Structure 1
Amino acid sequence: MNANRLSISQEYPHFVTSKSRPPNLQIAQEEVYSFFVEIVKQLSPDDVLRKFKGLFLDGLYSIDPDYIPGIYSIFLDDNEQEFCNTLKRCCYIIVNNWKTNRKDKYIQKLLNSLVNENLKIKTNDPPLLKIYKSWLETFVNSKDYQELKLFVIKYDESSKGQWANRYTSYLLIDQSVNENNPKEQQEAARRLSKQIKEKFKFELAIYIARSQSAVSSTTRYTNPSILGDHVLRLIKAIVLRRGVFSHENIAHIFIKQTQNQTLEEFKVNLEKYLFFSVENQEIVETWRQQFADTLSLWKTDCNQEIITKELFLRTCNRVIDCLTTENGKDPSSLFILLLTSGHSLTLVIILLKIILICKNSRRHLEIKIAHLIRFYEKYPEEECKGVINFIEIFNITFAIHAENVEYNLIKMEEEQSSNPQLNLDSYRVFSQMKVDRQK
């Protein structure tokens, strides 16, 4: 038997390599992927973990200077990046299955296995093992490993202090659309992000119902936001705008009125639409003018073109960039200006109005939110109160305007008021799931 056969060759009878004649890397990788796709469906999590360790980790304990452990035998050309890519995809093949089947605690065990103390480089390690251990250490310290940890945050005690972990759904959306990520990672990220958002919507609806009930104990419901009981007044203020002048109706009118307009006309009307009914405070007017100037300078060479669906989408995405982050890294000047002046709700409502006229921009917006979180997460929570408040209001507003939940405000007291916003305490907010009549 070839001495350089994989250490678990009995489990990979078709996967044979030699030091003198390395295998075709891509073929070898596909065989490994297929193996994990098969066993994760058939074996218990403990058995899958054992085989994962047998391939990637167990051989790193050897003291034989000529031994090439496990999967490392297909990376004889010191192809560290391909090793990391292979390890990452194998992890996501396993994670995707376990997350679907609610075996989250095993995902934590999988990630913990990669940071075992015995896997650290030792002075008496053979040269080859030092190289392979350094590859593993690089992976554990990489962004890829941090992204994997998003799938086990509630099981990771050390992550509880990270404020950005409260907004995992956006970071997962960013993963799900990155075409450089393996398909298993994109699918797992997309599924988990949706679950987190649905859970927030459900918990918000339950909190609203129980917190307004005189018979409910405060120990029986949990506020999914960190805004405290103040969130009820915020929700009432958001829901209050109904009827003819609801955001949805105004959006519908805008779409009809801007058909067949030129891009130049559309940009002017878009600015008016977004700022319709916004309080004319001096800081907001300054911000509005800066926004109008920025938008007017965008794609001036296309100003006389009739707005198409594609151009409509690109314009809305451009507006989102202006209001959040233009380069995907740093917050835009408009974003900073509105947050530092305490107008988070104004910004959120404007972003909502964009999505109400262009639902296809929703994912683009959520990716931009993820970029903002990545920018601010390196700062302590105390220094990020403005952006955290913005994200909390954003979450609540978009949960209220979700496609599958309907919120209504009902006046509970006899007296009427010409301006109901002055007496929000006399109203109660009710939520109910919408029925999809197409099914």
Structure 2
Amino acid sequence: MTANSLTSSQSNQYTFDSENKRLDLDIAQEKIYNYFIEIVKTWEPEDVLLEFNRLFLGFFEAVNSDSITGIYELFSKDEEQEFLHTLKRCCYILINNWESNRKHKYIQELVNLFSIYKDFKHEQFTKRSLYAKWIADFIDSEEYQHIQLFAVKNIDEQSKSNWINRYSSYLLVAQSLDITNPKEQQEAAIKLSRQLKDKFKFELAMYIARSQSSTSSTNRYKNPSILGDNVIHLIKAIVVKKGTFSYENIANIFIQQTQNQTFEEFKNSLQKYLIFSVQQQNFVEMLKTQLLEKLYSWKAECHEEIINKDLVLRTCNKVIDYLTTENGKEPSSLFILLLSQGHPLTLVIVLLKIILVSRNSRIHLESRIAYLIRYYNKYPEDECKWLIHFIEIFNITFAIYAENVEYNLIKIKEDKPLAEPQLNLDDYHIFSQLKNKTI
């Protein structure tokens, strides 16, 4: 520990003295944040953890005292939310720095510090019981669960405790978009979400490559999905739609053809584009009736306007809402209807076609997936298998169409004289390229 530590003699400088309670709380909080920004950059991580523990949790250790010193003196009994915001932001200042410097184990140690609250008998001390309850409330909160996402090293181990943890990348996207979260949390969330998605893309590509090679060990690269070996056939079914009628080409044609349309014309064109080449007729009928009806009445006062980038983005986001969750709290009726009919892949492809038209809508889509995950978190995993299946297909489809991964089918068997006219995917192998490097 260095002389820069926040000792009791420096309480006046950092507004930790009870005489300075009238000092504006915003100024006091900024001094706390700046202090942690300084020490996380200059101290050893072990010393930073000791200082964090002393300031936020240290009073638990003084079992024979009912006094309160330090940070807690800044907050009156009705300012729990201000305290929790301060605590949370300090956590993310440390997390952001250690994540950037690959000091991941200290994030886990930061989370472990909070286990001390379990040993504190807060009912023994009237004055301290309030602050002990604040810490207990924090550990029971969703905010603490968010912090725990950054501490998990093995996603497989994490998913054993709760199925939603398999899909942390979406929960993190939602965190990054929540403007009520500290900026450090938003930055850390989007960074970790990107890392998790890149990890999935790489592991999927390597698993596919090695699973089709007779010389490779099948145990070296684990299937990152939970679909088993069926994932190979699924990917072939997705990749096979290449060439002139690929999803990318159809999306580009749609963009070119709708550039000068009115908003009303664009709505009609979008609906036709989304159902183009969809083979399930009942799916098509549901989209035609329910989606078009909802979309047509939305912003009808703008029907005569010429379409522009802003309207395209807002329209695509709105269609995503209709297909997932309209209020951000519960699944939309269309989402439930489409998946109850057994069309997870078809729905995923429709969502993909939207993103290929409006790539900036992807983060909006991922946040809606997060809302669905949160909603179904209250149900047992066995009752959510249909949703899990949908998300797994979603993960794979969007990994295939990622900008830095390209998949192609290569035929490995010659056609037999009496070969069936229908494409036999078993005659093909999948080859992937990652950043111009063949896998």
Same fold (TM over 0.5): yes
How far apart are residue 28 of structure 1 and its match? 1.4
Indicate if the aligned counterparts of 1:8 and 1:70 stay in contact, CA closer than 8 A. Answer: no
8 Å Cα contact 1:96-1:184 kept in structure 2: yes
The 1:118/1:399 distance shift into structure 2, 3 A limit, reads closer
Contact 2:344 2:390 in 1 (8 A): yes
Name the CA distance, whole Å, in 1 between partners of 2:323 and 2:136. 39
Q: In angstroms, what is the RMSD of aligned CA positions?
A: 2.2
| Distance change (3 Å), C-alpha of 1:396 and 1:77 | same
Distance 2:405 2:325 in 1: 29
State the 1:177 CA deviation: 1.1
Q: Which moved more, 1:156-165 or 1:323-332?
A: 156-165
Deviates more, 1:278-287 or 1:330-339: 278-287
Which stretches of structure 1, 4 residues or more, deviate above 4 A after TM superposition?
Answer: 10-13, 63-66, 155-159, 416-421
Q: Which residue does the alignment assign to 2:131?
A: 132
1:174 maps to 174
Question: For the residues of structure 2 that align with 1:190 and 1:418, how far apart are their CA atoms?
Answer: 49
User: Deviations along 1:275-318, whole A, 9 cap, x unmatched?
Assistant: 10001433542343222222122111111111111111111000
Code of the aligned partner of 1:9: S
1:231 and 2:243 are equivalent in the alignment? no
Alignment partner, residue 240 of structure 1 = 240
Question: Where does 1:374-385 land on structure 2 (aligned, <5 Å)?
Answer: 374-385=374-385
| 1:423 alignment partner in structure 2 | 424
Match of 1:3 in 2: none
Q: 1:91 to 1:420 in 2, by over 3 A?
A: farther
CA contact (8 A) 1:89 1:182 kept: yes
| 1:77-226 equivalent positions in 2, closer than 5 A | 78-117=78-117, 120-125=120-125, 127-154=126-153, 160-226=160-226
Identify if the C-alpha distance between structure 1 residues 158 and 348 changes in structure 2 by more than 3 Å, giving closer, same or farther: closer
| Other-structure match for 2:13 | 14
Aligned-pair distance for 1:422?
3.4
- Between 1:154-163 and 1:172-181, the stretch displaced more is 154-163
Give 3-state SS (helix, strand or coil) of 1:115's partner: helix
**Sequence identity (%):** 58
**Paired residue type of 1:138:** D
Distance (Å, rounded) in 2 between the aligned partners of 1:419 and 1:299: 50
TM-score (norm 2): 0.93
Distance change (3 Å), C-alpha of 1:44 and 1:179: same
- Contact conserved, 1:344 with 1:389, CA < 8 A, in 2? yes
Task: Please tell me whether the aligned partners of residues 17 and 70 of structure 2 are also in contact (alpha carbons under 8 angstroms).
Answer: no
For 2:364 and 2:263, how far apart are their aligned partners in 1? Answer: 21
Q: Distance in 1 between matches of 2:284 and 2:276?
A: 12
Q: What is the aligned partner in structure 1 of residue 72 from structure 2?
A: 72
Q: Compare 360-369 and 134-143 and name the one that shifted more.
A: 134-143
Aligned equivalents of 1:420 and 1:433: distance in 2? 33
Contact 1:407–1:431, Cα closer than 8 Å, also in 2: yes
**Residues 57, 119 of structure 1: CA spacing in aligned structure 2 closer, same or farther, 3 A cutoff?**
farther
Q: Which moved more, 1:71-80 or 1:81-90?
A: 71-80
**Amino acid across the alignment from 1:397:** T
Number of paired residues?
A: 430
What's the CA shift for 1:418? 8.8
Between the aligned partners of 2:190 and 2:411, the Cα distance in structure 1 is 39
Secondary structure at 1:194 match in 2:
helix
Which amino acid is 2:258 matched to?
T
Cα distance, 1:379 vs structure 2: 1.1
Deviation at 1:147, TM superposition (A): 0.8
For the residue of structure 2 that corresponds to 1:225, the secondary structure is: coil
- Residues 379-434 of structure 1: CA distance to partner in whole angstroms, max 9, x if unpaired? 11111111111111111100100011111111111117998763100000100024
Gaps of 5+ in 1: 1-5
Residues 108 and 211 (structure 1), Cα distance of their counterparts in 2 relative to 1, 3 Å cut: same
Check the 8 A contact 2:173/2:189 in 1, yes or no: yes
Unaligned runs of 5+ in 2: none
SS in 1 for 2:151: helix
Change (3 A) 1:347 1:42: same
* Structure 1 counterpart SS, 2:406: strand
Residue 213 of structure 2: SS of its match in structure 1? Answer: coil
Gap change, CA 1:413 and 1:52, over 3 Å in 2: same
Provide TM-score, normalisation by structure 1.
0.93
Q: Which amino acid aligns with 2:152?
A: I
CA distance in 1 between counterparts of 2:381 and 2:284 reads 26
2:154 and 2:407 mapped to 1: Cα distance? 33
What secondary structure does 1:57 align onto?
helix
Q: Which residue is equivalent to 1:35? A: 35
Could you tell me how far apart the structure 2 residues matched to 1:386 and 1:419 are? 33
The answer to whether the aligner puts 1:343 opposite 2:343 as a matched pair is yes
- Which amino acid letter does the alignment assign opposite residue 176 of structure 2? S
Secondary structure in 1 aligned to 2:414? coil
Cα distance in 2 between the residues matched to 1:21 and 1:282: 69
SS of the residue corresponding to residue 123 of structure 1 reads: helix
